[in-house]
Amino acid sequence: MRRNSQFYFLGFLAIAVATVFCLPSLWRQLTGQNKEYDPGGLAFLVALLLAGNIGFLFATFRARRKEAAAEPEQRSRESRGAETTQPDAFVRLDFARTFPHLLWISSISYDSEAPDGFRYKMFATRHEPEMIIELLLLRETADGRKRKVFHMQATIDKLSTADDVIREIERDKNVCFERFDLSEVRTFDEFRTRAIQIGWEEAHVE
């Protein structure tokens, strides 16, 4: 849409420049200083220049109004597009009350749903001082897409249930998990260093 108004405005400028160059010759004829001309041809040329200037100027204003009316909707579409393309922050940490605790990442396996490969990631977040553990299990395919399998909370003394879940997935999905202890991580910088080493990127720090 924006290109339409720019095109029309450039057309208006071109006709306006042509009018400026033609005006000295036309002026002598229009004022009667030069009477050796074709009145019909002069009238046609003047009408053509006026129509060109007025037509392109009118088209520019009309296109600009349409663009102005469409801009809010365009911004809304762009905003919605940005929301859908940005990766989800599956884990939220603030390093004041919420800290990383444990992380499990599985080996790659294959099935009919993901013939190119998939793996699991499970993250345990610790909430202090309540000492509540939040468990999140994701299934990640080879193209990077992630699907939440389950999301639950439990007291820290029930964390052993996570090991039961891990063993069940290993048995059913033919994968092996590697376990990473993040319970000593207290700052964002420490977490970022460990996350890069481990390969966990789906976390939002508040």
Q: What is the pLDDT of residues 134-189, one digit of tens each?
A: 999 999 998 888 899 989 998 999 888 888 889 999 998 899 999 999 999 999 88
Taking the CA atoms of 82, 86, 89 and 94 in sequence, report the sign of the dihedral they define: negative
- Domain locations in the chain as residue ranges: 2-85, 91-205
Residue 90 — very low, low, confident or very high, per pLDDT cuts 50/70/90?
Answer: confident
More confident residue, 11 or 143: 143
Cα→Cα distances 25→15, 32, 45, 52, Å:
16, 11, 12, 18
Question: 96 in helix, strand or coil?
Answer: coil
> Among candidates 105, 185, 182, 94, which has minimal Cα distance to 137?
105
Confirm whether pTM is higher than 0.75.
no
More confident residue, 188 or 65: 188
Q: What is the pLDDT of residues 18-39, one digit of tens each?
A: 666 666 666 666 666 666 655 6
Residue type (1 letter), 79: S
CA separation for the pair 134, 44 (Å, rounded):
81
